[in-house]
Copies of this chain bind each other. A is one copy, B any other.
């Protein structure tokens, strides 16, 4: 049994900071000098160095000095076959898909292209501090296989599945419902709960799905109730109108997914910008999650997600955050925090409700909780990852809070000259990382107790 110890400064969460307005620190945990003991990739013990080290003599220690160690980031919504078309000019959602996205995704029928892309994809995620993602593939099973196989090779946790679309897509891109059902079924058998893989039944979005494709999803979910369901919802107003028009029997967008029995725990819909209060309430009561994708929502000009409304304690929606590469333009979830903060502030440019305005403010506590434990809870993987509780998988990131644009280090020196001694100092440094820094802060990324990324420059 391989055992190792990681010594350093740790910051993680034990609760949701939105539940502690004005006392957000009560949701976090900080060890200026901490120790994590890892056995066979899992956290065996964790706490203050003085205390934990007494229980583990003769431990092989790795000391990550001058770093803030956080749980690995969770990206709840990312498109594997769009990694290369990130930053494509000038279109809003529906035309952007046609002009840029489908032509690139078509290449993922080719196994060599898909396999190389899968390596690049995880390289990019790790360089941004992400250790777990929920990913869309293309309409080709080859893309799903390439992605799951590469994740297994790296022993990385992955939620993914064949991405079905049979409408509003080029003919050579679309699936048929039959082949979608058959291939999904095969892939579930091959990858679901194999190693760290988890399968998500993945209708791309309601507008791209015929009733037959949706029925195939229902059948898959009935036959495999422990699978995840991953899709999009209410990203743009044009899309919402079109979905309503194509589904006259459904009162709103969410009702389409509800009609086919997909909405419940382990269901997540990306974006949710234009969800009504009633839809938020149904998300909350069913235990389904919205994945907030700040970079993408701004890049495509889709709109401003109502963070403060989704986090209303009376109808609290589970929220993961996503990069939404390639409509998002930053692979690192640190970029999502930057833009998410701004969306919260923009929401407050005109908002009378003071409590909702307060909930729109993405403090460093709320931000880093969202991309670690909060994301894990939303995706129902918090028994596996999300914080440093003993028994969880040892996925973590070591942040250099001074690495970024040239001005960052001077900004951070306003907080502390050396390493942080208090939780408040650490949180303020983390706010600097998310708003003034970027992926340069990611010094190392560890997966199941193994260092898979180390910044070289």
Contact = CB atoms under 8 A, between A and B. Distances in A.
A345 B407 contact: no
A152 to B, nearest CB: 22
Contact of A299 (B298, B303, B329, B435): B435
Chain A interface size, under 10 / 10 to 19 / 20 to 34 / 35 or more: 35 or more
Interface in A285-310: 298-304
A22 interface: no
A361 interface: yes
A227 interface: no
A352 interface: no
A410 B440 CA distance: 18
Contacts of A405: 124, 127-128, 330-332, 438-439
A197 interface: no
Given A84-B410, A127-B405, A349-B237, A90 B361 contact: yes
A240 to B, nearest CB: 12
Contacts of A364: 89
A87 B148 CA distance: 38
Contacts of A84: 410-411, 413-414
Nearest to A304: B346
A371 interface: no
Contacts of A439: 405-406
A92 interface: yes
A124 B346 contact: no
Contact of A407 (B124, B346, B410): B124
Contact of A406 (B124, B341, B350, B431): B124
A436 B304 CA distance: 21
A68 to B, nearest CB: 16
A347 B302 CA distance: 10
Given A298-B345, A411-B87, A435 B237 contact: no
Contacts of A172: none
Contacts of A348: 92, 301
Contacts of A259: none
With most chain B CB atoms within 10 A of its CB, the pick from A120, A347, A414 is A414
A344 interface: yes
B86 A436 contact: yes
Interface string A86-122: 1101101000000000000000000000000000100
A85 interface: yes
Contact of A89 (B124, B303, B431): B431
Interface string A408-449: 001101100000000000001001100110111000000000
B347 A301 contact: yes
A344 B120 contact: no
Given A87-B432, A435-B329, A120 B410 contact: yes
Contacts of A128: 405-406
Given A128-B405, A301-B344, A406-B123, A237 B350 contact: yes
A298 B431 contact: no
A154 interface: no
Contacts of A438: 405, 438
A107 to B, nearest CB: 11
A330 B431 CA distance: 14
A74 interface: no
10 contacts: A87-B435, A124-B405, A128-B405, A236-B349, A299-B341, A299-B345, A300-B345, A301-B344, A303-B346, A438-B438
